[in-house]
Amino acid sequence: MRFLRFTAISGIGLVVDIVMALFLHRVAGVPLWLSATLSFLAVGACNYLLFEFWLFRSDNSAVSMRRLAGVLLSAACAGGARIATIVAIEPFVDAVLTASWLRDTLILLAGASVSLTVNFVINSRIVFKRNTQGLPPEEL
């Protein structure tokens, strides 16, 4: 069940993230890497509340500065992985694709996929570990 909730949060967040990044890049003229960073942080700020009170909810769920810091640290690690992915693959994609809208979208999706994986692993295994111990497999 948690995986389905995580997928819902991530899917909605990914759409908002990509649309916001493309808007900042294509309309506002912000460099792609900075657009990706800003949109990632905006979506990440909302995710803490969803994680705390819905995805990893427990009897002792409350605003926690420690978990908030953990989510932000996780987001920073995932963001670093995302930006590194974008910077690493951008030159290779340039050599293959000429349609800039497709190019930008594919690069952002690759970066988002890497950051999504990093973020889930850190949050589920470290930050909110207290909420997954003892759960049956169907609840994970």
Q: What digits encode the pLDDT tens for the residues 37-50?
A: 899 878 877 888 89
pLDDT in tens, 3-18: 678 778 878 888 998 9
- Give the per-residue pLDDT at 92: 84
CA dihedral 128, 131, 133, 139 (to 10 degrees): -110
pLDDT of residue 29: 96
- Indicate the helix (H) or strand (E) that contains 102: helix 100-122
